[in-house]
Structure formats: C-alpha cells, structure tokens
C-alpha cells in the first residue's frame, strides 16, 4: 500500500461527521437524497484528479485501476477462485475467473458476472471482492468475465463475449457443481447493460433464458435523456461527461443507439423474460434508467425485485472496504440473489 492509500484509509476511519466537515463542510444533498459521508469524502478527494474524459482510454484504465486498488476490499473467506480462458467461436480467448464457495450448494446455479466500466475500462479485479460476496452468500459458483474493451474492440465485441460466456456456462455448469443446462447472469453498470441485453437476445432468439438476471445500476436505454442525467450529472464516479466519453469510445458515431444489444429497454415484448433483481444508486445519472426498466418489466409481467439505495453512488460495489453502507448493501443484494434462488426450487 502506498502512502496516499494508507493516509486515505486512515482518514476514512474517522467519524462520519468529521469526514463531512473535511469534504465540503456539510452533507451533499441532491434531488431529495443525502450522499453517504464516506463516499462524499472519496468524491471530494477525486476532485483534485483530472476527469476521465480528459484522458486516453489507456490512461483512463490505469487511473481507474489505481484508484479502485486504493480502496479494494479483502475477498470473503471460504471462497476459492481460479483464472482460465474460454474460447470464442472465432478462436479468440476470453479470460475468466471462476469463484466457488467451500460450502457449495449443488442446487445453486452458476452465475456469469460482468464488471462495470462503460465498455472501456475495468477487468477481473474491478469486481473481485463483490464476486466473493456473491459466491459466499448464494453458495454457488460465479464466473467473472474479462470481456473485450473499446476502443480497441468496439461494439458489439464486449456484448458478443458476454453472450459467449453465458452460452459456455449453460454447457459447463455441471462441471463446476451447479445444475446442468442453466445459468444466471449479472453485472453492474455496463455489466448490467450486457446482462439485460443477453437476456433480451436469448428471448428474441428463443434460446434458454437465464435463471435470474441481476442488474446493478444498469444502463438499459442510452437514447432517452432521463432527468437523473441532469440532477446527478456531476456526481462521482460517474458523471454525464464520463458517460459521453464511454459511449464515444464504445461505439461508432453512426451506431443506432436503439439497437437492443445496446438499449435492451427498446424490446417490444418482454413476455417470458427471466426474473430480475434490479438495484440502483441514488447519486447516479442512471438511477432513472434502472427504475424505468424495472417498471417496464413489471408491466410486462416479469418477476422483478427493485430497490434504490438513496445514499449510495454509482460504483458502490467497489467501495465495500471503506463505506459501511456500501458493504451492507452488497451483502443485502447477495442475500436477494440467494432468496431468488431458493424461491425457484
């Protein structure tokens, strides 16, 4: 741990009121919500750094990785993992990390998990701690996917890797002690986008639906200008400016943004879609997007559990080591998944 990280972690042990005074003097309140003091402190410190939109994708990746490493949580005890690669149909390798809890439940399906990062940044480390929380709580295997990133691999490369990983999981779940021929899918932010889009694609193609889709602060509609994009457009770590930077690198300028592989909310019929757990963060330009998607699925008769964590910001799954509220929320989400698994038996 470098000195900067050590100092930041030490300061984050101070009482919440002190952190608020050190990061603006008063609580941050927007849209009737009050930001978690620990996340407020981190966001205040981040203001000293150049915005991601001013960086190259390569520098953005390095900066994000270094920042997340400063606050990385330790993995859950009782969970083992191994790294390997699965092969796509065109022959390229997709790196993955498979997590398995010591006390695995043979009835728990394998979940394919896709990390956040706007399709441009992030890797297997981005969601490492959260994947161990999921595996420990649901007592089932989690397959984390290091999908291809833009701009080196523009849309639909990352989405195609997500599809490939899901179909691989259907074929190989039994090898890892899970029920054969089925898999769940989940992800946060862009990973939530991929997860929703995979479920819709499987529905459109009349292929096996996921057992469950876990969508954590997902982007599902990048066409509509939701009010939260303005209300929370300058929040950390995701701002409206950063969202634009992601999309500019992720896809071609003339790409149809209503393509279901990018905006699954534009599907015309959700009948038969997999049950969904949809979670949003209050301080997030995407909060209205996730809420609207949950409403649309419910209206279509899909089994949906929706919850917004008002005090948290986008990306909270990566801050469980420094925000007690983020840690409690991630464990609650994992519990929701475990309950959904139990419900289907």
Specify whether the CB–CB gap between 213 and 185 falls below 8 A.
yes
The DSSP output letter for 320 is T
Alpha-carbon distance values, 218 to 26, 215, 223, 285, 339 (Å): 30, 6, 14, 11, 21
Specify whether the CB–CB gap between 207 and 263 falls below 8 A.
no
Rg (CA), the chain: 19
> What long-range pairs does 244-249 form, CB within 8 A, spacing at least 24?
244/53, 245/52, 245/53, 245/60, 245/118, 245/120, 246/118, 246/119, 246/120, 246/190, 247/118, 247/222, 249/57, 249/118, 249/119, 249/120, 249/150, 249/151, 249/154
Torsion of CA 81, 332, 195, 42, to 10 degrees: -80
The helix/strand/coil state of 307 is strand
- Token pair for residue 315? 């990306």
Specify whether the CB–CB gap between 187 and 206 falls below 8 A.
no
CB contact set of 262 (below 8 Å; sequence gap of 6+): 155, 159, 193, 197, 222, 251, 255, 256
∠ Cα 318 146 176 (to 5°): 95
Q: Give me the active site residues, please.
A: 189, 284, 314
Closest C-alpha among 284, 275, 310, 334 to residue 133: 334
Specify whether the CB–CB gap between 130 and 317 falls below 8 A.
yes
What are the beta bridge partners of residue 276? 213, 304
Exposed / middle / buried, residue 92 (Cβ in 10 Å: 0-12, 13-18, 19+)? middle
């Amino acid at each position: 741990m470098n000195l900067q990280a050590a100092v930041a972690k030490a300061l984050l042990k101070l009482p919440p009121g002190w952190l608020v005074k050190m990061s603006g003097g008063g609580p941050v309140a927007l849209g009737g919500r009050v930001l978690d003091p620990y996340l407020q402190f981190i966001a205040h410190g981040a203001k000293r750094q150049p915005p991601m939109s001013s960086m190259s994708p390569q520098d953005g990746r390095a900066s994000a990785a270094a920042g997340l490493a400063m606050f990385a949580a330790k993995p859950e005890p009782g969970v083992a993992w191994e790294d390997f690669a699965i092969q796509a149909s065109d022959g390229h390798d997709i790196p993955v990390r498979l997590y398995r809890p010591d006390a695995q439940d043979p009835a728990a399906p394998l979940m394919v998990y896709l990390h956040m990062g706007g399709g441009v940044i992030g890797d297997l480390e981005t969601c490492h701690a959260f994947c161990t929380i999921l595996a420990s709580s649901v007592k089932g295997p989690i397959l984390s996917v290091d999908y291809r990133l833009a701009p080196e691999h523009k849309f639909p490369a990352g989405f195609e890797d997500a599809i490939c990983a899901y179909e691989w999981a259907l074929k190989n779940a039994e090898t890892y002690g899970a029920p054969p021929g089925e898999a769940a899918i989940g992800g946060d932010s862009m990973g939530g986008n991929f997860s929703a889009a995979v479920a819709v694609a499987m529905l459109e193609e009349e292929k096996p639906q996921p057992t469950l889709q876990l969508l954590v602060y997902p982007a599902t509609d990048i066409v509509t200008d939701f009010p939260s994009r303005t209300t929370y457009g300058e929040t950390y770590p995701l701002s409206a400016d950063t969202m634009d930077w992601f999309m500019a690198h992720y896809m071609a300028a003339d790409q149809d943004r209503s393509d279901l592989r990018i905006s699954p909310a534009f599907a015309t019929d959700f009948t038969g879609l997999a049950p969904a757990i949809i979670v949003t963060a209050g301080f997030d330009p995407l909060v209205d997007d996730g809420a609207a998607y949950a409403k649309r699925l419910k209206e279509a008769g899909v089994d949906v559990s929706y919850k917004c964590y008002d005090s948290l910001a986008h990306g909270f799954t990566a801050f469980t080591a420094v925000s007690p509220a983020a840690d409690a929320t991630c464990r609650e989400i994992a519990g929701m998944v475990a309950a959904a698994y139990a419900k289907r038996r």
